[in-house]
Amino acid sequence: MRGLNKVTLIGNLGKDPEINVLEGNVAVAKFSLATSETYRDKSGQPHTSTDWHSIVLWRGLAELAQAYLRRGSLVYVEGKLKTRHYDDAAGVRHYVTEVIGEQVLMLDRKTGPAPPRPAPPTQPRRRPFRCGCGKTGPSFKCFFPIRRRLSGGALLAAGVQYSAAARGYVLPATPEAVAPLRQACQQLGVPLHLPVVPVLAGPPPPPTPQQAVLNRYAQHIVLKRYSPATLKNYRTAFQQFLLHHAPRLPLDLTRQELLDYLAGRVAAGISEAYQNLLINAIKFYYEQVEGQPRQYYAVPRPKQPLTNPKVLAREEVRALLAGTENRKHRAMLMLAYGLGLRLGEVLALMPPDIDSKRMALYVRAGKGNKDRDLPLPESLLHLLREQYRQFRPVTFLFEGLQPGEPYSARSLQLVVKQAARNPAYASPLVCHPSAGSRHGYPYHSGFTRPQQH
């Protein structure tokens, strides 16, 4: 039996439509629509409840909304529901349900009350000439002022042409075509509304010498296939280095000036980890980007204490797994703890990575972009098969609510936090994105007690 996804709404706009132009001159309009209903309670008193709906219109309907819809407009919307998601800065996944409009009818002129007649102005009223983004490639779709035949003729003479494919009048989205139109509108006293199109914007200003150096620096990191985290950290540290010495460039600095900068940052109280990051980011520019010989910066470093990890006992591990009833969650915890997988490696697993003939698990592109095989216990193989039959993942072995997308790293951390609420633990457990030791699976898995300082 086929499903049905259809929504019909009649309501008023809460605010003017928000119009955006995407790549390829695709217009999209978003607005909130209020629908109200009246009911009576047990005592017979009338009450009114209002629901708000998020409406999204694409292409031609978006142009219609830009031209005619305003706050308070009464419209009929017919479409379908669609749910999308996004991750915020904290990594928490949020879901948004919207109505994708497929048909829009304006009801104001037919059923709405006529607006009061304004007082006669001292000067003739000029309706705006609007240009919206159409579906005819790099061009505008034009909306003429209502009942202004004289103005329409002048605008046609300025270069506006009719397009059967666009079912309307269009204008090429070039500065050369917009210039005579702007001049004609000025002569007619008609305001000209143009959407924001990058091709009409002036040429961007040339990059400063510091920006050029920073762009070369980031490009070199990308070409060397460093991780996105390394690119972000190195670029931020090197950008601060450039800003500190602006307008001078790094090649104009002496070795002593570099040491003075590093010593000043150390005196400012940066951590040892950030101190090493700063040195590596600067060394990368001189040695990798500029091709200079390897250099050593004699900056005093504090002695780092060597502490043993707080490893879980076997009884605590059993309690952790036994307290997790969800089959998918228990399988992820067993992979991370039993096989020593990092958090990201668990979430990147796919069904073909399980080799039941060799009883091995294939980890692709682990830390350092290295692959490795791990022995797969039979008990874990049975659990993985059960969770596969239950959840039927599309791409990844562990997927979230959206098929084909991996399980959220933040969600897995919350799974550990929930499982660690067992009263058997004297202190809380944490889940690290990666581990820093190869001495054994328990600590390598990333499930440890937080260090006491």
Please, which contacts does 221-229 make with residues 24 or more away whose CB atoms are closer than 8 Å? 221/284, 224/288, 225/369
Q: Pairing state of beta strands 93-106 and 139-143?
A: unpaired
Q: What residues contact 6, with CB distance under 8 A and at least 6 apart?
A: 78, 79, 80
- How many C-beta neighbours within 10 Å does residue 241 have? 21
User: Among 359, 362, 338, which residue's Cα sits nearest to residue 350?
Assistant: 362
Check: pTM over 0.85? Answer yes or no: no
* CA–CA distance, 386 with 246 (Å, rounded to integer): 60
Q: For the chain, percent helix, then strand, then coil, each to nearest 5?
A: 35, 25, 40
Question: Which structure tokens are listed for 154?
Answer: 């002048």
pLDDT at 143: 60
pLDDT at 100: 93
Do residues 192 and 185 make contact, with C-beta atoms less than 8 angstroms apart? yes
pLDDT at 154: 67
If you ran DSSP here, which 8-state letter would residue 224 be given? Answer: T
Please give the torsion angle defined by the CA atoms of residues 314, 320, 321 and 324, in that order, rounded to the nearest 10 degrees.
Answer: 170
* CA–CA distance, 364 with 349 (Å, rounded to integer): 8
User: Among 403, 421, 412, which residue's Cα sits nearest to residue 336?
Assistant: 412
pLDDT at 296: 63
Strands across the sheet containing 360-363: 354-355, 360-363, 372-375
Please report the DSSP string for 13-34 in residue order: ESSPPEEEEETTTEEEEEEEEE
- The radius of gyration computed from the CA coordinates of the chain, to the nearest angstrom, equals 31
If you ran DSSP here, which 8-state letter would residue 184 be given? Answer: H
Do residues 84 and 402 make contact, with C-beta atoms less than 8 angstroms apart? no
Do residues 169 and 177 make contact, with C-beta atoms less than 8 angstroms apart? no
Residues belonging to the chain? 453
Q: Pairing state of beta strands 360-363 and 161-163?
A: unpaired
Could you tell me the domains of the chain?
7-111 (2.40.50.140), 129-198 (no CATH), 209-289 (1.10.150.130), 314-448 (1.10.443.10)
* CA–CA distance, 224 with 218 (Å, rounded to integer): 10
Question: Which structure tokens are listed for 206?
Answer: 């040339």
pLDDT at 365: 75
pLDDT at 9: 92
pLDDT at 54: 93
pLDDT lower than 50: segments of the chain: 110-130, 133-137, 146-150, 426, 432-440, 442-453
Q: Pairing state of beta strands 360-363 and 354-355?
A: antiparallel
Do residues 419 and 403 make contact, with C-beta atoms less than 8 angstroms apart? no
